[in-house]
Amino acid sequence: MPSFLKDLRRKSITRKPPSADSEKWSASNTSSNGTNKSSSTLNSFLGSSTPPSTLLSERSKSATNLVATNGSPPPVPTRPSVVSSKSNRYSIVGSPVSNGQPRNMAATSPLAPRVVSISDNSWVHQKVFLIYGQIGDVTQPQDGHVIVCHHQDSFPQTSWPVFDSHFKTLVHLQPGPNRLRLDFLPAKAAPPTSSPAHSSWININYLPLNASPPLHLVILLARNSPETYDAVPERVQREGNGLATAIRKYRMSAYLWQAFTGEQMNRNNFGRRCFRFEEEWQQGTLTYRDTETNQMRNEAKIHIIRMEKTLQEIRDLEVAQQYEPAKRKGDLYSWAMDAVRAYFAPRPGQKQYVSCMYLDTHWDSQYKTVRGHAALGGGSDDLQLAVFGSHALQSYPASIEEVVPAFMDCTRTDTNFVANDLNESGSNWEAANIGIGAHLHETGHLLGCPHQESGVMLRDYIKLNRTFVAREAFATRTKSPGQRLCLPKDECTWHRLDTLRFRFHPCFRLPTDPSPNQDGSVQVWTVDVGNVLATASSGIPFIELFAEGDDVCHAWIEYMEPGSSNGPPRQVSLIEGELRSRLPEKSRNKKLKIDIFSAGGGKHTVEDFNQLASKASRVKLPDGRAGFRGGKLGFSQQDGTQAQEILLQSAFQQTKLLRAVRVYSGFCLDGVEFIYEDSTTQLFGKRGGKPGGSEFALDTRRGEILMGFYLRAGVWIDGLQILTSLGRKSEIYGNATGGSGHTLIPPRGYSIAGVYGTCGQWVDGFGMIITR
């Protein structure tokens, strides 16, 4: 072997690893934190929302002293190697690494922060994540601060108050693994001279839901808008009230919606699902330090839409007085709908979810009314929309550091400049609750939630602050000191029925969920007196029960098995007696209405269950067997429409064999003709549309039979497709994109006995008759 190769080999073997002193210096040489610029007036009560400056100076001194003691600067790090499985790329300052991977370290003391809301190495799906935890033994209360050190110092350290050994923090996550360090600083303890004595670590994995449709955030401006919002003079001087500040505040409030909703979904055992925002690479605003350093981040995009309407039209008080308030709000909603639709220009099938804020909302102190404000949510087939005003925007936090100060700010509302909404916004933190929470309420409407008996959809958001703080400030609304300790049981919630809707909403879909079934329809079949079967190809997760006079749902049935991966059942049996037993006793004899929900986002309403399950739905077949009418599609409202019903001869005569089905259609369904081998036929509807119709033959030699239909239906029947027992499908005859899709296939154990419905100029009602 050449001598120079021997020398190289010898040097490689004898090379020493970095010294322990160099690792110790690296751990102690952390970045400084700066001074908090929170807008709270209560910093003296909470303490600084950043670590004490003495702690930062001591850490800097520690590094300087180390250099002085050794007489030379710390050793220069060796050249970094190519990232591999042995890389320590996922470590943070103070995070130990073993064999290239972060090592799970035990807490450094009994007072180390203990996270109780999420377990180590869990997966989450939102950038700003809520953590709830405790310090030591909660029976021996501790006050102080928890400092959150983010993954690889990718986000500045943040400080969160600890009250009676409880704390709540918001952490900023990077896509992929995140290793966070939490340091506890007791209120009465002297600042440490080196690393904090009470530290713990937690790993959280962040997976963005980029395959789900986003919730778009929009600020609406009048054509001649001054681009400002209501704020008291002191706020205007300190932080401004222009469009840039409005964007920061609106973005932060949206991330609070997301953090709150993700936690609520987890508490309801649906994992940490949440809607996502459309994001873009821009100057960061989630920490005020990004504004100072021009740090770029991927954050929620706020679309700015300038409307055709003028400021006078939006704020026109005379119009507001002249018309009913509901109509005035309806105008503002329709204007927003028009502006958003023109801006996004959704194509058929491209549904958009948009939550808007009118920036030009204005408190008129003379008339004691809020002008240019509407609180509404809902939508149409292609656009789901929520709108709200900016009259409480001044009270919103503009960054993560301002969240706790904003929700603890007891500054009284000055109605010379800003609104005291419904007299429930007597202080800044209460105004933040109403503004952020009520806008979330309207966003709930755009996501499909009706009003509920409790939770956000009933105004439970007046205590939204409790989700983000461990102790509540003085409440002017109740004239009380507020909740001393805000535990999870005291917080604002989404109702269970809201989370059930979210579980199967497209915006909450996870990558591990099965591909969504495009047919979200639900069908109901009366199979005996008092007994109904409900079927849905996508599954039925829950139904809601309403007694006559109920404006919100008080009783429901869930068909989801916790932890099951099979999904909801495709067929459920509904027995009238069992359903009524779930209603309050005083309502059990009233008219019963049920809403049946599918996992595909569909809903079927039975206005009178007793009538559906009565003998009126029974049909007697010629061979003596009982037939049952299923639910009917179409509204049957054409002028001159007439009821029709045919019983298929092949269903009760063994000598009859159905050979083909001929469909008559043009831009909608005109008729369906059933053709037998002996050349006889039965016609439902009329022979219209395409001359001669379109014939679909069954392969009778292979025993192929008619299995059901797929229909496109709305007010009338737009199109029809034939389904067979061999899995074959015809084309969709008629309008293949009209209405919505519905699959009509008899429940297990039943077969087609006939069809019924109504026909006027064309078929405007269609249903199936089944038999055992």
pLDDT digits (tens, 9 = 90+) for 55-73: 333 334 443 343 333 444 4
**What CA–CA distance (Å, rounded) separates 207 from 455?**
28
Phi first, then psi: what are they for 177, rounded to 5°? -70, 140
The C-alpha angle 401, 407, 413, rounded to 5 degrees, equals: 120
Residue 304 has pLDDT above 70, yes or no: yes
Q: Phi then psi for 751, rounded to 5 degrees?
A: -135, 170
Within a 13 Å sphere around the CA of 412, how many CA atoms are in the beta-carbon half?
5
Q: Give me the pLDDT at residue 83, please.
A: 38
Using only C-alpha atoms, the chain has a radius of gyration, in whole angstroms, of 32
Residue 741: pLDDT over 80: yes
**Is the model's pLDDT at 14 over the cut of 50?**
no
Choose, from 442, 472, 544, 673, the residue flagged as catalytic: 442
Cα–Cα distance, 389 to 168 (Å, whole number): 29
In the structure, what pLDDT confidence band is assigned to residue 530 with cuts at 50, 70 and 90? confident
Question: Is 70 exceeded by the pLDDT of residue 619?
Answer: yes
71 or 488, which is more confident?
488
In contact, 610 and 616? CB cutoff 8 Å: no
**CATH fold label, 3-73+89-97+110-206:** Immunoglobulin-like (2.60.40)
H or E element that contains 757:
strand 751-759
Q: Is 228 helix (H, G, I), strand (E, B) or coil?
A: strand
Answer for the pair 317, 311: CB distance below 8 angstroms, yes or no: no
What's residue 303's pLDDT? 97
Would you say 673 and 693 are in contact if contact means Cβ atoms under 8 Å apart? yes
Taking alpha carbons only, the member of 180, 44, 177, 174 closest to residue 113 is 180
- Please write the tens of the pLDDT for every residue from 98-146: 444 455 566 678 899 999 999 999 999 999 999 999 998 888 888 999 9
Residue 745: CA count within 13 A, CB half-sphere: 20
pLDDT score recorded for residue 58: 39
- Tens-digit pLDDT profile for residues 444-481: 999 999 999 999 999 899 999 999 999 999 999 888 88
Structure tokens at 612: 């559906």
Quickly state the pLDDT bin for 419 (edges 50, 70, 90).
very high
Task: Provide the pLDDT confidence category of residue 95 given band limits of 50, 70 and 90.
Answer: very low
pLDDT at 656: 86
- Least trusted range by pLDDT, from 11-25, 202-216, 490-504, 508-522: 11-25
Query: Tell me, which fold does domain 523-612 have in CATH?
Result: Immunoglobulin-like (2.60.40)
82 or 502: which leads in pLDDT: 502
Mean per-residue pLDDT, 176-188: 92
Q: What kind and span of H or E run contains 21?
A: helix 20-28
Task: Indicate the domain borders of the chain.
Answer: 3-73+89-97+110-206, 215-465, 523-612, 622-771
Q: What mean pLDDT comes out for the span 637-658?
A: 89
In whole angstroms, what is the distance from residue 670 CA to residue 692 CA? Answer: 12
Residue carrying structure tokens 């003495």 = 54
**pLDDT for residue 88 is more than 50:** no
Which long-range contacts (C-beta less than 8 Å, at least 24 apart) are formed by 83-92? 89/152, 90/151, 90/152, 90/177, 90/179, 91/152, 91/179, 92/149, 92/150, 92/151, 92/152, 92/153, 92/179, 92/180, 92/181
Distance (Å, whole) CA 241 – CA 254: 18
Give the mean pLDDT of 688-696: 90
Q: What is the pLDDT of residue 25?
A: 36
In this model, does residue 679 exceed pLDDT 50? Answer: yes
581 half-sphere exposure, CB direction, 13 A CA radius: 5
Q: May I ask the CATH architecture of the domain 622-771?
A: Aligned Prism (2.100)
Same fold: 523-612 with 622-771:
no
**37 vs 219: which has the higher pLDDT:** 219
- Is residue 442 part of the annotated active site? The answer reads yes
Buried b (16+ CB within 10 A) or exposed e, 72-99: eebeeeeeeeeeeeeeeebbbbbbebee
Helix (H, G, I), strand (E, B) or coil at 762: coil
